[in-house]
Chains A and B, each alone.
Chain A
Amino acid sequence: MSALDQLREPALTKRGLSDVTVVPRRTPATWVRGGGLTTLLFLLPLLFVFGAFSWYPIVRTVIMSLQHTNLVQPATWVGFKNFEQVWHDPLFPIAVKNTAYFAGLALLFGYPVPLIAAVLMSEVRKRRGIYSALAYLPVVIPPVVAVLLWKVFYDASSAGAFNTVLGWVHLGPYPWLQSQQWAMPSLVLESTWANAGATVIIYLAALTSVQTELYEAASVDGAGIVRKVWHITLPQLRGVLLVTMILQIIGTAQVFLEPYLFTSGGPANATLTVLLLIFNYAFGNSLGGDYGAATALSLMLAGFLAVFSLVYLRATRSWSTR
């Protein structure tokens, strides 16, 4: 490379003479000499992996949603037909309603519990590590194992694990996953169990940054514990609370594993979610997938979540930064 540099040297000096004050222009040669090639070499794994498995597929999704593709014949452009087809699919409103129901229930069950637990845990004086370890333990269990284990617990016969325990206090037996009414709450219950620990850890970390002087000041003013939580702890956690809420909504809007493994969307489509519908469009039919409809619906979901997040951030902005 140094030989090449020497060859290029006269050209550089010549230009340097004609325009002395200006920094030498960037040419491929100066780029290489400045280490540009080495930098690119370091970036190569990132560019290859993200280009091939992230950026290109994102663009491809948009293209495929406007095409009719079955992998055998060449793709044909169909405009917005795929979107229309999904929009008029009788399963579409059911999936949307079920997903919203799941997200809503998950918020109701799963949002306050980690917060209360974290506030209580942050005031534990001895062996707090045991609390957080126990809370986090379900998070490390592989989700497939968690779902299949809970499926055993949810056995609808009176000898099922949950029904046995409830039987001790003369409740049940409940049909759990087999009833249209109970199936979705059952899914939410398992999902909350599996995920709440991660949120607890986030809150515990956030609680350590609450300014303790304020507690002292409030105590001096005669505020009790409940008032301190309400007027100091919660306002200071505001930012974190708003973020965990939107992250939870975005996460639950994409629920797949629970309905897929627990119920396959049943009974009578009571747990058919948007992601399960996408999966069924693309991979549910052994004869070949309707990739156009699947990509169209996935884009509709992504678009909805993007708009929802923007509206949410805008609506809560004044409140979160005050």
Chain B
Amino acid sequence: MTDGEGSTGLISTAEWHKRSVRWGIGGLQALLLFALVVGGLGPILWLAKGAITPTIDTITHPMGLFQHGTAWSNLKEAWSTVHVGRYFWNTVVIAFGSWASQLLVATTGGFALSVLQPRYAKVINALLLTTLFVPAVVLLVPLYIEIVHPPLIHHSLIDSYWAVWLPAGASAFNVVLVKRFFDNLPREIFEAARIDGAGPFRLFRSIVLPMSKPILGVVSIFAVLASWKDFLWPLLVLTNPNEQPLSVRLPSIQAQTSLGVFLAAMFIACLVPIAGFLIFQRSFLRGGGLGGALKG
């Protein structure tokens, strides 16, 4: 990723010194930057502007900038009157539970398959890889019916957060990612710990987990983001509006609120993912490549 004067990439240093190249490529790059600012940042800035602009101004002059002042009340009205505050909290609770479930399954499962390696690990690995290739839609209907009529407990899980938390844990992608990381930890340390008398639990808690902070961070970030983005599944299993997350509520509140308040609600829904991205930018941009490499 390092790039300085001396590096020889696609365009050599000698070529950079040519005026035509510098202007041509430089111009294209400037154009790209402009396109990225307008395309990537523009819509979000527009949303931020719309969130604090009186509805009437946004409707009549969508590209105008505060012709008749600001309306910070949009944000307040969205948060309390439209109950975005409550939906925000619901989203946090759902994301936290989904995160915990994914992390528990991926770390314990990855530890068993990578470090303890029972004889049947191959079978489980094969089954996990199979699920990676099954499109999610195949699971939709039977999963829904399972939540409505769960076997053994005979009590519908509809409107219970467990209906979102538990299926979230079944992410084969996470398990494979964590298992691969565990596979690359030095075996000598495990052996040394075993000789010193550490059992599997001690090995897991005191050695494997502390050494795996980087991958656990990546999995956590993507788990929270995925949960924040999720729409269809919570829409199906959480029918009580008071329990629904933001993504499910936003389409429904659109009809009942003025545009300014609605834009404010959407802006609030974006805040956590954007803040997370800005803080953990490196993990996102590296993890994106990581995911692609794994899929390939």
Contacts and interface: CB of A to CB of B under 8 A. Distances in A.
Given A61-B142, A128-B3, A50 B127 contact: yes
A283 B105 contact: no
B177 interface: no
Interface string B248-277: 101100100001000100100110011011
13 contacts: A39-B112, A42-B200, A53-B139, A54-B131, A57-B138, A71-B148, A148-B250, A202-B292, A205-B292, A208-B1, A244-B292, A254-B137, A302-B137
B237 to A, nearest CB: 11
Interface string B53-85: 000000111110000000000000000000000
A122 B285 contact: no
A243 B142 contact: no
A100 interface: no
A257 interface: yes
Contacts of A129: 281, 285
Contacts of A49: 101, 105, 166-167, 169-170
Contacts of B170: 49-50, 53-54
B144 A60 contact: no
A39 B11 contact: no
Contacts of B229: 142-144
B36 A160 contact: no
> What is the interface of chain A mostly: helix, strand, loop, or mixed?
helix
A131 interface: yes
Interface stretch (B39-47, B184-192, B212-220): B39-47
Nearest to B7: A212
A119 interface: yes
A301 B288 contact: no
A129 to B, nearest CB: 8
Contacts of B251: 144, 148, 261
B36 A131 contact: yes
Contacts of A250: 135
Interface residues of A, number: 107
Interface in B175-221: 175, 199-201, 204
A261 B32 CA distance: 30
A219 B263 contact: no
B62 A159 contact: yes
A133 B286 CA distance: 11
B228 interface: yes
A140 B276 contact: yes
Interface string A133-174: 111111111111110111011010001110011000000000
Interface stretch (A12-20, A89-97, A104-112, A292-300): A292-300
A42 B116 contact: yes
B244 to A, nearest CB: 12
A55 B296 CA distance: 23
Interface string B117-134: 010000010011001011
Contact of A45 (B21, B104, B136, B248): B104
Interface string A285-313: 00001010011001101100110000000
B146 A247 contact: no
A38 interface: yes
A143 B231 contact: yes
B6 to A, nearest CB: 11
B109 A216 contact: no
B10 A225 contact: yes
Contacts of A122: 9-10
A103 to B, nearest CB: 14
3 nearest A-B pairs in the assembled complex, by CB-CB distance: A205-B289, A46-B109, A202-B292
A216 to B, nearest CB: 6
Contacts of A45: 104-105, 108-109, 169
